[in-house]
Amino acid sequence: MRKAIFPGTFDPFTIGHYSVVERALTFMDEIVIGIGINENKNTYFPIEKREEMIRELYKDNPCIKVMSYDCLTIDFAQQVEAQFIVRGIRTVKDFEYEETIADINRKLAGIETILLFTEPELTCVSSTIVRELLTYNKDISQFIPKGMKMND
């Protein structure tokens, strides 16, 4: 069974993230969306809310699991017995950063990273921008997956 983790802060989970998961499902049997807990990041949504929103979005898909973690990403991958890490790339800067991390992860744990380039129409979408729009009470519906519930 081919199992991957898709790690990130996902604050919030955007249509770009959704696209990466959907595309990765074409060659993975299971994907664990791993929500990293990073005390140094100021998040808009608490970790429990992010887990709930993403879990609800994928509730009918048994190939998707949603978990949070508070350790190195490679340690999380090993805990859930994933052989791969899936990452989305929007820019050259993203690529350079992800390439370095992928090399380290392969050396430390033998885990391969699969980089998926963002679809051109989604390159402008980032959690940072969506968070800023939320802060100013703007409508973000076009930037999050259809069916994702932001409020209770």
Binding site members: 9-10, 17, 41, 73, 87-90, 98, 122-128
Residue 61 amino acid letter? N
Q: Look up tokens 């490679």; give the residue.
A: 74
Using alpha carbons only, what angle is made at residue 6 by residues 37 and 148, rounded to the nearest 5 degrees? 80
Question: Which one, of 151, 134, 130, 148, lies nearest residue 9 by Cα?
Answer: 130
Q: What share of the chain is helix, strand, coil (3-state, %, to 5)?
A: 40, 20, 40
Binding-site residue set for ATP: 9-10, 17, 88-90, 98, 122-128
Strands annotated E in the chain: 3-8, 30-36, 64-69, 84-89, 112-117
Listing DSSP states for 50-69 in one string gives HHHHHHHHTTT-TTEEEEEE
Binding-site residue set for substrate: 9, 41, 73, 87
